[in-house]
Amino acid sequence: MRERLGELLLKAAGILLMLAALAFAVAKAPDRSLESLVPRWALPPSDFVELDGQLVHYRDQGPSGDPIPLVLIHGTSASLHTWEGWATELSATRRVISFDLPGFGLTGPNAEGDYRATRYVAFVRQLLARLGVGRAIVVGNSLGGEIAWQLALADPAHVAGLVLIDAAGFDFVPESVPLGFRVARWPVVREAMRWVLPRRAIENSVIDVYGDPSRVTAALVDRYYELALREGNRVALMQRMDQMTPGPVERLADIKVPTLILWGGRDRLIPPRWGQAFEKGIPGSQLVVFPKLGHVPQEEDPAATLAALRDWLPRVQP
Average pLDDT over residues 207-231: 97
> CA 104 → CA 21, 26, 237, distances in Å?
30, 24, 8
70: left (phi over 0), alpha (psi -120 to 50) or beta: beta
pLDDT above 70: residue 50: yes
pLDDT above 50: residue 65: yes
pLDDT above 80: residue 194: no
For the chain, percent of residues with pLDDT exceeding 70: 86
What does the pLDDT look like over 20-33, one tens digit per residue? 332 333 345 799 99
Q: What was the pLDDT predicted at 187?
A: 67
pLDDT above 80: residue 59: yes
What does the pLDDT look like over 239-276, one tens digit per residue? 998 899 999 999 999 999 999 999 999 999 999 999 99
- Enumerate residues 6+ apart whose C-beta is below 8 A from 233: 103, 104, 105, 108, 109, 227
pLDDT above 80: residue 290: yes
What does the pLDDT look like over 160-180, one tens digit per residue? 999 999 999 999 988 887 866
Q: What was the pLDDT predicted at 192?
A: 67
Q: What was the pLDDT predicted at 2?
A: 46
Give the residue with greater pLDDT, 12 vs 279: 279
Closest CA to 88 of 50, 149, 48, 43: 43
Report the predicted TM-score, pTM, of the whole model to 2 decimal places. 0.89
Q: How confident is the model at residue 12 (pLDDT cuts 50, 70, 90)?
A: very low
pLDDT above 70: residue 296: yes
Give the residue with greater pLDDT, 283 vs 4: 283
Question: What distance lies between CA 300 and its chain's CA centroid?
Answer: 13
Q: How confident is the model at residue 226 (pLDDT cuts 50, 70, 90)?
A: very high
Q: What was the pLDDT predicted at 185?
A: 67
Query: Are 226 and 234 contacting, i.e. CB atoms less than 8 angstroms apart?
Result: no
pLDDT above 90: residue 189: no
Q: What was the pLDDT predicted at 191?
A: 66
Average pLDDT over residues 124-141: 97
Beta strands in 64-119 (DSSP E): 70-73, 96-99
Strand 54-61 to 96-99 pairing: antiparallel
What is the rounded average pLDDT for all residues in the chain?
89
Give the residue with greater pLDDT, 279 vs 181: 279
Give the residue with greater pLDDT, 119 vs 28: 119
Mark out the alpha helices in 28-139 (DSSP H runs). 34-41, 84-90, 117-130
Q: What was the pLDDT predicted at 177?
A: 77
pLDDT above 80: residue 86: yes
